[in-house]
Chain A
Amino acid sequence: GQSLEQPSEVTAVEGAIVQINCTYQTSGFYGLSWYQQHDGGAPTFLSYNGLDGLEETGRFSSFLSRSDSYGYLLLQELQMKDSASYFCAVILFNDMRFGAGTRLTVKP
């Protein structure tokens, strides 16, 4: 089976940097993705790491270390609109399994 662990809640102030960690145990691992979900909304795709290292997309970066079964999402220059839930997900051969999600609250 698969298991993913990420913190349930994180709080940060506007303009700061926050890192959301994700550790996983799985077989048949192809990569790690991150999704953002605002209250009442659908999850939206943020990033995918198929190889070890850092992927950067604007203010968001995602990192993967396969040897450590670990990844993180880094959000820089936090804005109020970044308040949302963030899910890491392991990509398997034909499907994807999600963690329980991290609720990020950005305060002024």
Chain B
Amino acid sequence: DVKVTQSSRYLVKRTGEKVFLECVQDMDHENMFWYRQDPGLGLRLIYFSYDVKMKEKGDIPEGYSVSREKKERFSLILESASTNQTSMYLCASSQGQGNGYTFGSGTRLTVV
């Protein structure tokens, strides 16, 4: 089974801090994604990557950046955390269209 591992389940950070959320997948998938999930809004795509060092903006990239230096690792960076970035962050990976995405367990980030 594909495993997508997110480094932290819960995280509390202060406003203005630089925050790194790490995601690692173990099945050599080409595509990796970062979503945030908020009640009533579903999952919204922040960034995705279809190859090493490649990145594409999703629907809500403002305030975020990403890094993909190795195929298995996709990092989400909050340059200067703000309270409106308090959310559940979900990483996913996939191989091609039509194949299901495999999600990590999520990181619940609270910015205070």
Inter-chain contact B45/A43, CB cutoff 8 Å: no
Chain B residues within 8 Å of chain A by Cβ, number: 26
- B-contacting 9-mer, from A44-52, A58-66, A70-78: A44-52
Distance in Å from the Cβ of B5 to the closest Cβ of chain A? 11
Q: Which residue of B lies closest to A42 (CB)?
A: B103
Chain B residues contacting A94 (CB-CB under 8 Å) are 31, 48, 50, 56
Report the Cα distance A8→B13, complex, angstroms. 31
Interface residues of A in 76-100 (CB under 8 A from B): 87, 91, 93-100
Chain A residues contacting B33 (CB-CB under 8 Å) are 95-96
Indicate whether B58 reaches chain A with its CB closer than 8 angstroms. Answer: yes
Inter-chain contact A100/B42, CB cutoff 8 Å: yes
Chain A residues contacting B43 (CB-CB under 8 Å) are 43, 87, 98
Inter-chain contact B103/A43, CB cutoff 8 Å: yes
- Using a CB–CB cutoff of 8 Å, the interface residues on chain A facing chain B are 1, 8, 30-31, 33, 35, 41-45, 48, 50, 87, 91, 93-101
Which 9 A-B residue pairings sit nearest by Cβ, starting from the closest?
Answer: A45-B100, A100-B42, A42-B103, A98-B43, A98-B42, A95-B48, A101-B42, A94-B50, A48-B98
- Using a CB–CB cutoff of 8 Å, the interface residues on chain B facing chain A are 31, 33, 35, 40-45, 48, 50, 56, 58-59, 90, 94, 97-106
Apart from A87-B42, A95-B48, A100-B41: 9 A-B pairs, beta carbons within 8 A? A1-B59, A35-B100, A43-B101, A94-B31, A94-B48, A94-B56, A95-B33, A96-B33, A98-B42
